[in-house]
Structure 1
Amino acid sequence: MSSAQPSRIVFPPRGAFFETLKQRTEQYFQEAGLRQTGNWRLYLKTLVSVGLMLGSYVSLVWWVEHWWSALLAAFLLVQGFVLVAFNVMHDGAHGSYSRKRWVNFLAGSAMDLLGSSQTLWKQKHNLLHHTYTNIDGKDDDIAIGSLMRLSPSQPWRPWHRLQHWYAPVLYSMLSLYLLAFSDFHKIITNRIGNTQMQPRAAWELPWFLAAKLFYFGYALVIPMLFHPVWQVLLCFVGVHLLFGLTLSLVFQLAHTVQGAHFPLPDPQSGKLPAEWAELQVRTTADFAPRSWLATFYMGGLNFQVEHHLFHKISHIHYPALRRIVQKTCEEFSVPYLCFPSVRAALRAHFGFLRSMGQRPQAAV
């Protein structure tokens, strides 16, 4: 955390806004006779996602005979990875996939299967990002060093003028960065950014190392037994560049867009300007709420406002919850940011990057 920020951040007491939201949400589930976790629709999505991932992997390693078939299989493998990450892992890691903890653990372990770590994700994403959304120095999702400027409070550098052009290049490196460097760095330093990690169970380190070995084994070693090393490496990097770009863009569209808020705690007391729930709405955006394809593909992450308010509820319920959240925000005069399409959200994101790349007037 920068020296200008307090050592402790304090939220004001939760008020009527969130209490009303919770009451209406609970009433909705009671009247509809629904569980807040996943149902047959989520389990069907899991079968489709995992089936696509496994089928394309088998095809890529053992069945392809031509460059174009390898390219197609690699592309489908990325789509399988994306569907598993958004639709299975994300709900599992949040504990919203099932009422059973062991099922949630298995679903969340898809993060390990994809090369990263559920343990680290829970601390980085569930605890820090969902608590301190868009707060510079606490939310690691907007901390990219000096490479990019993703918050008005971050220092400006001359190369930020071009960040809306080179951002996709950096975004594409996300999954490679996580699996090859960032995860190991967090485990060794026991820190996420400037924040000390919470104590971990004794089994988590062996699990972390075993999962990494398993991943590199199936992603690199096994394919190298059947194909030239250079082809395997080329495919491996290509798959991750597309995977990383997809993951990064979807998550960036929810928070680093024009209209999103970046709260600043009081320098002395560390108190934030509004209660947690209100800040979740102000720092987050929905997009493409009427697109069935976007909702299916992104695992409901286009309903980020609802997700941040109720991350313990499965994403399959977010379209219904949106009506409740929108109505309550209107009643309490809380700005509710929603872009009508993915294209509109992309414009808002790259417009935000362009504005953050301009030299601040105060620095002139």
Structure 2
Amino acid sequence: MAQVKEHDLLRRRTGFYWSLFGSLIGTLALAWVAFSFLGESWFQLIVAGVLGVLFTQFAFLSHEAAHRQVFASQRWNDRAGRYVGTFLVGLSYSWWMNKHTRHHGNPNTIGKDPDIAPGVIAFIPEDAPVTGLKGLFTRFQGWLFFPLLTLEGINLHWSAVRAVVSGTGTTADRRHRVIEGSLLVARFGIYLTAVFWFLPFGMACAFLGVQLAVFGVMMGASFAPNHKGMPTIAHDAKVDFFSRQVRTSRNIRGGWWVSFLMGGLNYQVEHHLFPSMPRPALKQARLLVRDHCDSLDVPYTETTLLRSYGIVVAYLNRVGLAARDPFTCPMVSQLRIS
């Protein structure tokens, strides 16, 4: 921490975020201009794909505001995160905050990290069905993971609506739920009206399908490589903060374009150690953290983006295998901290 402060790496980079936000808003405006000029053309699907990318980038900005990376004021960060994430992207800011805060406090910890909770995908053998269609699915879930991400956009929007309507998965008070509900109604109302007003019904459905698929894949493909296939921690294990964050996180190499596509999440180790550190400072922090890990003999994991996807697929398939095999799968057992 002393070296981080010495290098001034926790200083807010407000200029960077305003520039990025302005660039994204400008690109969003150009996308809608293209939408209006193209009319009833199947080239609209290109615009849909661009919107999927842009909504993902806005989601990254909301995520960074939630971590207090953008402004010094907590109120301004919350406002920015809520309006960008809810109105521009269609997510519930309070739902995301609740879920993501629990993840950061207990990454890859069984029973505590909602990102590895039981669901369609089983992330630990104990949660993997053994028999029936679900068991068959689990056996090949690694190969099915990325195709399933095409539905993640719908899942995120549904979780947002459910959170503001019923309070499921959020600790927000009634006032903030009403604000988010109003923003979601405005967002979906304007967006869906524009799409179905200007395009024939079939083309409008295809437009939405492409946009949601791109959004879901980009969101999942940005968050999954950071922890999936890394060690999991037993529910009652006593692990110090530094080891808990570093051992369960994976960095992604690749340069500036990977940083842009992943919203800075490629520096996952540094992000978990210093959640409020602005995106531009993470690259420099990486050198300090890596050296510190070497001095403590703590594994510091990095790989390429494509390699990380291969690791995720292989790990999820082995989780399914371990659930079916009466003997312990060596890979899965090696990735368990107890």
Q: Which amino acid aligns with 1:93?
A: A
Provide the residue aligned with 2:333 in structure 1.
none
Q: Which amino acid aligns with 1:343?
A: L
Cα distance change on mapping 1:84 and 1:188 into 2, 3 Å: closer
Post-superposition shift, 1:284?
0.8
Cα distance change on mapping 1:102 and 1:51 into 2, 3 Å: farther
1:273 equivalent to 2:238? Answer: yes
Q: Paired residue for 1:108, among 69, 77, 81?
A: 81
Provide the residue aligned with 1:325 in structure 2.
289
- Alignment deviations for residues 298-324 of structure 1 (CA, whole Å, 9 cap, x no partner): 221100111111111111110000011
The 5 Å alignment of 1:170-185 reads 170-180=148-158, 182-185=159-162
- Alignment deviations for residues 271-322 of structure 1 (CA, whole Å, 9 cap, x no partner): x23112211111110011x411111222211001111111111111100000
1:41 equivalent to 2:16? Answer: yes
Q: Paired residue for 1:354, among 311, 317, 327?
A: 317
Q: Could you tell me whether the CA contact under 8 Å between 2:49 and 2:210 is conserved in 1?
A: no
Provide the residue aligned with 1:240 in structure 2.
212
Q: Could you tell me whether the CA contact under 8 Å between 1:52 and 1:77 is conserved in 2?
A: no
Post-superposition shift, 1:140?
1.5
Q: Could you tell me whether the CA contact under 8 Å between 2:222 and 2:261 is conserved in 1?
A: no
Cα distance change on mapping 1:187 and 1:135 into 2, 3 Å: farther
1:55 equivalent to 2:30? Answer: yes
Q: Could you tell me whether the CA contact under 8 Å between 2:53 and 2:218 is conserved in 1?
A: no
Q: Could you tell me whether the CA contact under 8 Å between 2:53 and 2:214 is conserved in 1?
A: no
Provide the residue aligned with 1:163 in structure 2.
141
The structure with more helix, counted as a fraction of residues: 2
Post-superposition shift, 1:205?
1.5
Cα distance change on mapping 1:136 and 1:53 into 2, 3 Å: farther
Post-superposition shift, 1:189?
5.3
1:133 equivalent to 2:133? Answer: no
Aligned residues: 320
The normalised TM-score by structure 2 is 0.87
SS in 2 for 1:357: helix
Q: Which amino acid aligns with 1:166?
A: L
Q: Which amino acid aligns with 2:302?
A: C
SS in 2 for 1:99: coil
1:207 equivalent to 2:179? Answer: yes
Q: Which amino acid aligns with 2:138?
A: H
Provide the residue aligned with 1:5 in structure 2.
none
Cα distance change on mapping 1:306 and 1:284 into 2, 3 Å: same
Provide the aligned C-alpha RMSD in A. Answer: 2.1
SS in 1 for 2:71: coil
Provide the residue aligned with 1:224 in structure 2.
196
SS in 2 for 1:358: helix
Cα distance change on mapping 1:225 and 1:278 into 2, 3 Å: same
SS in 1 for 2:65: helix
Task: Quote the sequence identity (%).
Answer: 23
- Alignment deviations for residues 9-65 of structure 1 (CA, whole Å, 9 cap, x no partner): xxxxxxxxxxxxx22211221xxxx652224233222222222223213422x1214
Instruction: In structure 2, list runs of 5 or more residues that go unmatched.
Output: 329-338
Distance 1:318 1:91 in 2: 12
The normalised TM-score by structure 1 is 0.82
- Alignment deviations for residues 73-109 of structure 1 (CA, whole Å, 9 cap, x no partner): 12221221122222x2121121111113344234312
